[in-house]
Structure 1
Amino acid sequence: MRELRRASPALLRWFRLCSSRISCSYGSSPSGTSTIPPRRGDSFGHAKECSRSVFRPRDPRFSLRCPASAPSRTAYDPDFDGFRNKCGGFRCFSSEKTQEFHGITEAQAALMDYLHYTRSFQFTDAEYISMNSPIFLSNLLKKVKDRQDIGRSITRFLLFHPINEFEPFFESLGLVPSEFNQYLPRDLMFLSDDSVLLQNYHTLVNYGVPRTKIGKIFKEAMGILFSEDGILSSKLRSYEEIGLSRTSIIKIISSAPSLLIGDVDRDFVRVLEELESMGVDREWIGRNLSEENSYLWGRMIMLLQFFRQLGFSRREVGALVRRNPGFLLDNSGKMVFSVVGLLAKMGSTKDELSGLFLHFPSIQLESFVNNLRFSLLFLTTIGMEPEDIKEVVRSHPQILGSCYLKTPCSVLTSLSVGHKRLCRIIKQDPHQFKNWVFGMKIDRLPNCKQDHISLEQKEKFLLGLGFSENSKEMKRALSKFRGKGDELQERYNCFVDAGLDPKDVSKMIKLAPHILNQSKDVLEMKMDFLVNGLGYPLDSLVTFPSFMSFTLERVKARFLMYDWLKKEGKVKPNMAPSTILATAEKVFLKRFVERHSEGPKVWEKFKRTVDHC
C-alpha cells in the first residue's frame, strides 16, 4: 500500500474506483482475504455525522492485488518518474525534484482521501480542491516530519488535526490567502456547516461557470454566494429571459460579476437593446467581453450616442462596433473619449473625427492611443512649432497612431540631421513616420546645402587644431560633433579663456572631441565646479578631458560618497577624478560603496540629496 500511494493521482483514482471489487489479503485473517467496504455516498448531507466519526487510516497490512491488465508502478520506476509530456512520453527530473513532485502528489492524494472518504465531499469537489490548493498543501507539508512516507504522515496528521476546510476551498477558486483571509468564518471550520455557500457554489458549477472564475465572482459579488436558497438561480434565469444564451451568461457574469448584485442591471439591458437596434445581436457582447477589463454600462451608452452625434447612422455604428470591438469594450469606451479629447485640443472637426473612426487602422485601440501620445511628444521634443504640430496631428492621426516610433535622439542620429531639418521633413511628408518605427533601419540622409557649409566649417576648425586632412582621427572627430560648425570655435575659446594652453586644449579635443557638443555656459559651469567645488587644478582636464562629459549630478554624488569614505578611512586620499568617475555603476558600487557596511544606505541618501538640489 505504501508503494501504491506513491503512484500517480490518475492511477490512485483508478484503484479507488475499483476498490469495492478488489480482493485484499489481511495479515491476521485465517482466510487470507477480505473485502474493502464500499465508500460512503457523495453527498454533503452526511458531513456533520461524518465529522463526528473517527477517521481511521488505512491499515498498512492491507496489500492490494491489482488485476493483470493494470500493473502497478511505484515511485521508483524510472519510466514513471516525472510528468507526462504532450508527446505521450515522460519528462524526467533530478532526484530532488522527483522527490518533491512525489511529495506533492502524495499530499494531494491524502487530502483528497480525507475530503472524500472522511468528510463526504463529492468526489469531483474533493479532487478539484486537493489539486488546486498548492499554498495550503505546502503549509501542510511543513507540518509533516516523516518524509519517507508523506501520504501516511499527512493521513495521521489529519486524524488528530482537523483542517479549516474554507482555506483550500477558497484557494481552489483562484484566491490567495491575502484575499480570502478576511472572509474566513470565525466560528466555522467545516465547509458543510455553511450550506448556503455550498449550495450557491454548486449552482454556479452546475450552470457551467468554470470553478477558476468563481473566485472573481466571490470577490466582486460576494453577497450573491451567501444569498438564500433560489436567489442565484432566479438571477441566472432572469438574464436568460432577456434573450441571452447560457454560454453568453457564463462569459458575462465571469467578466462582470457585479451584474449578479441586485436586480437585472438596467444599463446593461439598455446596451443590449441599443446594439440590437444597430444590427448587433445580443450574443456579440458575450463573445467579446474580456475578464481583464471592468465595465461601466452607462459609459457605453454615452459612447454609442456620441457616435450618433458624429453623424453615423445606427447601422454604421453597429458595423463600426463589430469591426472594432475595442471602441466599446476597452475600458467601456474611455480610450475613444481619450482620443477624441486629444484631437479636439488639436482643433479636429466632427468630419475629421468621423473619418478617423471610419478608417481606423488595424491596431489595438490602447496601442493607438499610446502611439499617438508618443508621436505628439516626439514632435514637441524636436522643437516643432505648436501650430505646425496641430496641423500634422489633425491631418494625419492615423499615421501618428499606428507608428511605434523610435526616440527622437535615435532618429536624429540615424538620419544625421538637426532638429530644424527634421521638422521640415515631417511638415513636408508626415508619412515619413512609417520609416522611423522600431525594427526599421534608418538610412542616413544626404547633406543639404546648409549641412555642407557647416561641414566645411568643422573641417576648417579641425585643420587649425593640427588634424591631418581626411585622416581617421579627423573623421572620428567629425562623427562626434553635433551642431553648427561656427559654434566649435566659441567652445574652444572657452577652455583657452579659462587658462588652459591652446596646445593642451587641442590634445583634449583629439582625445575626447565630444566635449565640444556642450554649450559655453555648461562648459564654464563644469570647469568652475572642478576647481572651486572639488579643489582639483584646471590642468587635470588635459589628462582626463572626459570629465566634461559627465553630468554634474553624477559628479556631485560620487564625490560626496568619496569624501565620506575618505573620512571613514576606507579609501586613499587624492584619488584621480578618472578613478572615481570613469568606472561603471556596478564597479563603483563594488569598489567604493560596499567598502563600508553603511555605504549603500549613505549612497542612496547622497543620490536623493543631489536629485533635489
Structure 2
Amino acid sequence: MNIIEWSFLDTIKMLSRSRTPPLQSLYTTLKHNFFSTNTHQKPPTLSKIPTKYRPQAILQAQEVLTDYFHTTRSLPFTFAEYIGKNSRFSLLGLVSKVPFSRIGYPNSIQRFLRYHPINEFEFFFESIGINHVEISSMLHLNKCFLSEDSKVFDAACALACFGFPWKKLGILYKGDVEIFSKEPYELKERLSRFERYGFGSVAVIGICLAFPRVLGERSDFLDEVDMLFDDLKRVFLDFDLASCVVGNVDAWFEMCRKIAIFYELGCEKGTIGELMGKNKSIFVDYSEEVLAEKIGFFCRLDVRREEVGVLVLSKPEILSFDLEVCVISTVGFLKHFGLGVNKLKLTAQTYQYIMGRNKIANVPHIMRSLDLSEWFFDRLKNGGHGLLGSYVIGSNEDFDEDYAEELQKIQALRTSIYIIRKLNFLHGIGFGENKVTMKALSYLHGPGDELQERFDCLLHGGVNFSNLCKMLSVSPKILNQKAEILEQKIKFLFLDMGLSQEELCAFPACLCYDLEKRIMPRCQFHRWLREQDWCPFEYSLASIVATSDKSFMARISGIHPDASKKWFSSFSNEKLVSKRSFSKGNHSTSC
C-alpha cells in the first residue's frame, strides 16, 4: 500500500503524455491539487453592513463564535479559539445572515445562534486548513454538532497537543481520513514510535505532514512504514541532512515533500536512503518547484519513472543544466549525443517535420516523436548526462530562412498571439522550425490549448506519440474537431473494428470523415461482407472510407449481386440514423 500523501504519480503521468510550454507546470499543478487554499469562489457579501463597520463586525463575530464553541458547546477554550479565528469564509456566511446594528451586534449574533443551529463541522474543517469549496463533500448528512462524531475532534486535539499546527491538520485529513478515526492514545503511541527512530517532535510533525499515511496505516502495514523511516533516518541523521533544516515544522515539511517525490516516482522504500544521503545537496540547493520541473522534463520521455528518480539521485549535476531556454538543432543535438551517421541520415529523411531548430524544453517530445526516447534515456543513464550541459548550437546552424520569413509575417499580424500559441503547440510536440511545420500551422483551427486537448485525446485513445506526430504532418486537419468527436471515432476504429495503429497511420485523413455518415456504415458493411465470405480480400481503410459514393456502389455491386440491396436495407446512412438516435451535436467539425 502506498504511504505517500500526494497522487504525484498520476500527475506526472498526465503531464508526461503531452506537455508543452504554455501548459501548467508540474509544480503549479501539484500546488493547485494538494496545497493551494486559493479559490475562485467569492466569499459571502456583507452588503448590509456599512464598509467602515465590517472589520469590527467580523472581529465581534469571531469572539461570539469562540464563546459559542467554548461556553455553549463545552470545547476547551484554546480549540474553540482556533475554530473561531480560522474559519473566515464560514464566519462571513454567518455574519451575512444576521441583521447589523451598531449597538448590540454581538447580542444579535448570539440570539441568531440560539435559534439557528450551525453545522459545526463546516467551521471545524475550514479551521484546520481545508479549502471551503471542498468541505461540502466532507459534511455528514445527519450530523451538525462536533459531539455527534467526537472522534474527529478528539483526534485533532491529540495531534494539536503533540505540536501539529491546527491549520495544517487538514493536510492530514485529506491525506488519510483514517487518522481521524483513531483514538488519541493510538495516535500518541504511533508518534512516540516515530520519535524512537531518533527524530524530535518537530521533525516527526514535518514527516507526518508529508507522509500522512504513516499515521493512518493499519498495524499490519507498519513494515512499510519502518522501511520509510529507515531511509529518512539514513538521510537526515546518518548523512546529517537534518543540520540543513531550519528547526521549524514548515522547513521539515518542505524538505520531506521533496523526498516524497522520489517515492511517488516508484523508488522502493528502504533502498534509496543512502543514495539520497550521498547526494543530499539535491534537497538543499533546489526548491520544490525546480525539482519538480526538472523531474517532469525527464518523465516526459515516457520512460519508467523509478529510473528517472534514480537518474536524478545518482547524477544530481543534471539538475544544474538549462532545460528550458537553450535553443537546439535537432540534427546537431542527435549528433552531439552520438547517434550513428547512417541512423542520423535515415532519421532526418524520415522525420523531416521534426528537423530544424527547437527549444531544449521540447527535447523529450522531440525524442518521442522520433521514437528515440529509450535510446536518449539510456545515453543519459550510461554517462552521457553531461552532454546536456555541454551542447552549444552554432550561430547559423540549421537556420531556416523560409521559416524565419513566415514567422516575421505572423508577428506583424493583429492575431499574432493567437497564431504563435498554435505554433508553440506544434513545437511542443516535437515539430521543428521548418516549412512542414508552417504548412501544418496554416491548416490548424482552434486555440493552442484546445489543440493540445485534442492531441491528448488521441494519445489517450491509444495512438502512439510518434505515429500521431507523423499523422499530423500528413493531415493536420484531424485536430480541427472537438475532442469528444475524436474520442468516438478512435473508440469505434480501435475497439469496435479492431483497426491497428499502422492502418490508421497509413490513412490519418480517415478521422476527418463523419462518423455516422461515412466511417461507421462503410466499415461495418465491409466487415459484414467479409463475414459472409462475399468479399474475397481485405480492402484498405482509404478504399473503404475515401471512395466516392458512386465508386463505392459500383464496387459493392461487383462483389455480390445482393450487396447493394443489403447496404440500403441495413447499413446506409439513412437507415443508421433512424436506428441510432445520435444527438445533433455529435457531427464532426468540417476538416
Bigger radius of gyration: 1
Normalising by the residue count of structure 1, what TM-score does the alignment of the two structures yield?
0.41
Greater RCO structure (CA 8 Å; 6+ sep) = 2
Normalising by the residue count of structure 2, what TM-score does the alignment of the two structures yield?
0.42
